[in-house]
Amino acid sequence: MSRIYLMRHGETLFNVLRRKQGWCDSPLTERGIQQARDAGAWLREQGYRFDHFYSSTSERACDTMELAFPGQPYERTKGLKESYFGAFEGLTEDIDRHPFPSEFFVPFGGESEEQARERYLGTLREILGRPGHDQVLCVTHGGILMRLMRAMGVAEHLGGKRMGNCSVLVLEPALGERFGFAFKDLLNPLG
């Protein structure tokens, strides 16, 4: 059975400053660099093997991939980027205290929750549709992974917490499921 492993990037400066990153970027912190190395080592120690590797084009995701799997060739894919928050990019996460309707960011130049999810799911379907793509690792972003888990009805696996840096969401293609994927596991390589 094909599986896709979606790993969140390591801690960034904007994570520490509690700023919305979206399509803007900030570098990994020293802690984020170590998280990426530790997560890659843990996945190898646990016996996970991947036949293809992909990353969001964001620097924080590419750096995480390169640190977790040094020397491993991978493809950068724009479809794996975080949601775009338009004029809210870079602002503090204090605005997240209020629940937003799914279309909230659209008038400010951003994506709706549905647009981001369809972009992301379309990219995952396209990747898994390629020949020989049975065990695929993608380094991506926590916001997208959390939205996927909520949409699939499996957010309770987070226990009310945010998706931790370098956590790995494991999905399998499933024709009968609402979004074409079934939740399999949530791995926390950092303990």
Residue positions annotated with a catalytic role? 9, 82
- Rounded CA-CA distance 113/146 in Å is 11
DSSP secondary structure letters along 58-104? SHHHHHHHHHHSTT---EEEGGGSPPP-GGGTTSBGGGGGSPPPTTT
C-alpha 3/C-alpha 50 separation (Å) is: 9
Provide the CA 73 distance to its chain's centre, in angstroms: 19
CA 148 to mean position of chain CA atoms: 10
Q: Catalogue the E-assigned strands of the chain.
A: 3-8, 52-56, 75-77, 135-140, 168-173, 181-187
The residue to which tokens 């036949």 are assigned: 51
Residue 87 CB: number of other CB atoms within 10 A?
11
